[in-house]
Structure 1
Amino acid sequence: MKEIAAMNLNLKKLDKYQLIRLIGQGSTGNVYQGYDPFSGNEVAIKTFEPTRSIPAEERALFEKLFLQEASLAGKLKHPHIVETYDASVEGEHPYIVMEFVNGTTLAPYTQPGALLPIEQVVQIVFKCCKALEYAQSMGIIHCDIKPANIMLTEAGEVKISDFGAALHINCDRTQILGVCSPNYMSPEQMSDETPNHQTDIYSLGVVLYALLTGRLPHQSDTLFGLIRAIKEDTPENVRVLRPEAPLHVALATHKALEKSLERRYCSWNQFADDLISGSLSDSARTRRRFSHAGPSLLVDHYTEAVKFYRIRSLSILQDFSDITLWELVRISDWNQIKPGCTLIHEQSRGDDFFILIEGEACVSKGQRMLSMLGAGEVMGEMAHINAGSLRSASVNITKPSIVMRIPSASLKTASVELQNNFNRLFLKSLVDRLGAANNLIAALLA
């Protein structure tokens, strides 16, 4: 990296990017809210401009961190990871251009007087699990998971940031040591062992513990004492510190904090599934209470994390990426519908379609039953394909059901990937129906 010039805080532009305001300032650089005139989006711009008082060794370390983060430009695209759009490391003022996140970090919510509702904590950590699972699939281990590196937007969305200390699994580049927060480091990091994804699992377990209880699982007045506690001591039970915490959440927290890699979660999927499974049981009890009350919105009872978990398990959506499934969660409506309700009326207009998440439905034309549908089947897609046409059949709910509605208008403005996934799904459905019709005709003619 070339010799760095001191940044003029009155600077209004960096290459094509307009600088709107200074939003953060430190010993190694500044962070600006900026504007990209090409995309029309607000962005965050991090500059590298260490003060002269920083020792040469530390400067070299922070330069490595900056270059590491800059190398991720365009590589990690996930709804729960702060995206790095662009970077310039050779000019007079090196900078990284990132997604602008309007919100705060999770750090304030680890204080005893500012704890979030447990359901929200579970959803936050579930989303982090899926985001870090994605990063792992891209060959990247974060290595510095802590509340200060997890953003919570004003809309309640979660974004993991700061991959400067990340380990690239499929690269000769080694982990940059000496920059992680000791309170969130795993026992193997304390022993200078090579990190892997289970290292991030442990660190996220510490975040979960702190969000639930308002304290860290291990504390000490000295670094030596903290290292010893992390490697040897058992954390106090979550339910002692927060009695209302569900048993499954407490168990998941403590398993993520296991010192032994053999006893700790070996995959993000296991961690995420254990967190959400108890929530599904709670939702099942809620459904039973509402089972005779008619159609009832489940928005208050199903978090985005639970919705994602439910559709991820559907075989018809197995070819959809996690990224497109999160998008589907955001554009869809979920309803609980009691038996005897008609979901689709024959000869009615409408181009929305539905997926049966749970329950049973009957497809009929006139007085004739055509088929019975179970969980994971699509309903009403022909009206979506032939926009403006009348519905050719009725769909009646025969058992207490959970139905996901996908508004046609929302899908048309969704990502190309999500639209293509559904187009392939519809094509396969048409082929299967044509094959079934041919078999029926052949049997009648035999």
Structure 2
Amino acid sequence: MPSEPTGERLLARRYRLVTHVGRGGMGTVWQAHDEVLGRDVAVKEVILPHGLTDEERAVHHKRTFREARTAARLGHPGVVTVYDVVEEDDRPWIIMELIKARSLDQVIKQDGPLEARRAAEIGRQMLAALHAAHEAGVLHRDVKPSNVLITGTGRMGERAVLTDFGIATASGDATLTQTGLVMGSPAYIAPERARGRLAGPASDLWSLGVTLYAMMNGKSPFERSEPMAALIAVISDEPDPPEKGGRLIPVIEGLLRKNPDQRMGAIEAGALLDDIVRQETIDTQRTMAVEFSMDELPGAQTTIPPAETREPESRDRESPGTKAPGTESPESRGPESHGPESHGARPYAEAYADPYPE
């Protein structure tokens, strides 16, 4: 178990641990203060499994330091920034950017399933971060709602940050995972990894698809009471169609193809998510029809009042068939110039055509 700080512990003579933030299978996260640079940071205390030999412990330490180097070189706004890694009490501690925000898992549990546009916006930000990692030769291998932080408020001001590259691997590095040990969350792990096969970028995309499903339906379709049952479901069961998937259904179904060679790629998934966000924004911001006076339109000319509203004396002074110089009879002006229906208020949608027709 991780050691609890007595008061405010000073780590590596620099990082003062202040408060416990969270705990997971791969470690404990603290809020800390960098005494050298005078800024708040997050410190991940790596928890090593019980019963490891000295050799296995050394392998885990090496993998953790590699993880820090891997995450630090990404430099993407959708990936939490790694500042430093130190060793103390015979275990590594990773110093990271402190992001005070709820996880996506907390958002789903507290607020309920997300609407399609918001889910698509979060999904495409996650996809951009994963794509940048894959381009750099880095796999996350544990994409799930609890590893996504949602900052900001409102539908258009949110930022999704992928965190906890706790079991990340870099292409070209020798594998440091124990033989037969499956690392990751069973309900979000890809089928090929559940079978013990080699992971690739498509494995992270599967986990993104499960995360999108969870955003729309509240939980993973492979969630079971026991981890082994979840792994079996991932391998053999087809997920139930998402009840509230809406326009996200084609993306979810494409990412949840069990054969990684047939799974939807990042480019196609990103294009579909972009279309969903754009279309949903247009639909929700469409201009409503309102009453609008023609006299208030730019460049509109003042028209003479209809005959029935004129002074009675003016009609008495005019003989039939005569008109004052420079004037025209209402009948000669056409339908736009007379009658309350034509020159008065009329729907805005009639004055200007809808720029986004169905």
AA aligned to 1:260 is N
Cα distance between partner residues in 2 of 1:68 and 1:169:
12
Structure 2 counterparts to residues 35-50 of structure 1, below 5 A: 35-48=33-46
Shift of 1:116: 2.7
Distance 1:92 1:192, change over 3 A: closer
Shift of 1:211: 1.1
The higher radius of gyration belongs to: 2
Which residue of structure 1 aligns with residue 52 of structure 2?
Answer: 56
Shift of 1:219: 4.1
Which residue of structure 2 aligns with residue 250 of structure 1?
Answer: 249
AA aligned to 1:96 is I
Q: 8 Å contact 1:68–1:165 — kept in the other structure?
A: no
Shift of 1:149: 1.2
Question: 1:185 aligned to 2:189?
Answer: yes
Offset from partner CA, 1:154-183 (integer Å, 9 cap, x none): 543211111121121132345564321111
Which residue of structure 1 aligns with residue 145 of structure 2?
Answer: 147
Q: 8 Å contact 2:20–2:31 — kept in the other structure?
A: yes
Q: 8 Å contact 1:76–1:84 — kept in the other structure?
A: no
1:182 partner SS: coil
Structure 2 counterparts to residues 11-410 of structure 1, below 5 A: 11-14=8-11, 15-24=13-22, 30-48=28-46, 54-56=50-52, 63=61, 66-72=64-70, 74-89=72-87, 94-111=92-109, 114-153=112-151, 155=153, 156-174=158-176, 177-238=181-242, 241-242=243-244, 245-246=245-246, 248-266=247-265, 268-285=266-283, 289=287
Distance 1:180 1:28, change over 3 A: closer
Offset from partner CA, 1:274-308 (integer Å, 9 cap, x none): 12213323444567637999xxxxxxxxxxxxxxx
Cα distance between partner residues in 1 of 2:104 and 2:284:
30
Cα distance between partner residues in 2 of 1:291 and 1:83:
47
Which residue of structure 2 aligns with residue 311 of structure 1?
Answer: none
AA aligned to 1:10 is G
Shift of 1:126: 0.8
Identity among equivalent positions (%) equals: 26
Runs of at least 5 residues in structure 1 that lack an aligned partner in the other structure? 294-339, 341-399, 402-446
2:7 paired residue among 6, 10, 15: 10
AA aligned to 1:152 is I
Distance 1:273 1:199, change over 3 A: same
Cα distance between partner residues in 2 of 1:65 and 1:104:
28
Cα distance between partner residues in 1 of 2:71 and 2:110:
37
Distance 1:207 1:25, change over 3 A: closer
AA aligned to 2:172 is N
Distance 1:64 1:181, change over 3 A: farther
Distance 1:61 1:149, change over 3 A: farther
Which residue of structure 1 aligns with residue 338 of structure 2?
Answer: none
Shift of 1:233: 2.4
Shift of 1:131: 0.3
Shift of 1:33: 1.2
Cα distance between partner residues in 1 of 2:276 and 2:85:
43
Distance 1:285 1:21, change over 3 A: closer
Provide the aligned C-alpha RMSD in A.
3.6
Which residue of structure 2 aligns with residue 419 of structure 1?
Answer: none
Cα distance between partner residues in 2 of 1:288 and 1:49:
52
Distance 1:278 1:125, change over 3 A: closer
Could you state the TM-score of these two structures normalised by the residue count of structure 1?
Answer: 0.56
Cα distance between partner residues in 1 of 2:233 and 2:91:
43
Which residue of structure 1 aligns with residue 340 of structure 2?
Answer: none
Cα distance between partner residues in 1 of 2:175 and 2:90:
25
Distance 1:18 1:113, change over 3 A: closer
Distance 1:254 1:171, change over 3 A: same
AA aligned to 1:129 is L
1:47 partner SS: strand
Which residue of structure 2 aligns with residue 415 of structure 1?
Answer: none
Offset from partner CA, 1:230-273 (integer Å, 9 cap, x none): 223221111xx22xx43x3111111111112233112x221121
Distance 1:130 1:292, change over 3 A: farther
How many residues align? The count is 289
Shift of 1:201: 0.3
2:79 partner SS: coil
1:46 partner SS: strand
Offset from partner CA, 1:334-354 (integer Å, 9 cap, x none): xxxxxx9xxxxxxxxxxxxxx
Q: 8 Å contact 2:67–2:169 — kept in the other structure?
A: no
Cα distance between partner residues in 2 of 1:121 and 1:29:
28
Q: 8 Å contact 1:33–1:45 — kept in the other structure?
A: yes
Cα distance between partner residues in 2 of 1:12 and 1:226:
39
AA aligned to 1:80 is G
Shift of 1:107: 1.7
Q: 8 Å contact 1:168–1:174 — kept in the other structure?
A: no
Could you state the TM-score of these two structures normalised by the residue count of structure 2?
Answer: 0.68
Runs of at least 5 residues in structure 2 that lack an aligned partner in the other structure? 292-297, 299-353
Q: Which has the higher contact order (CA 8 A, sep 6+)?
A: 2
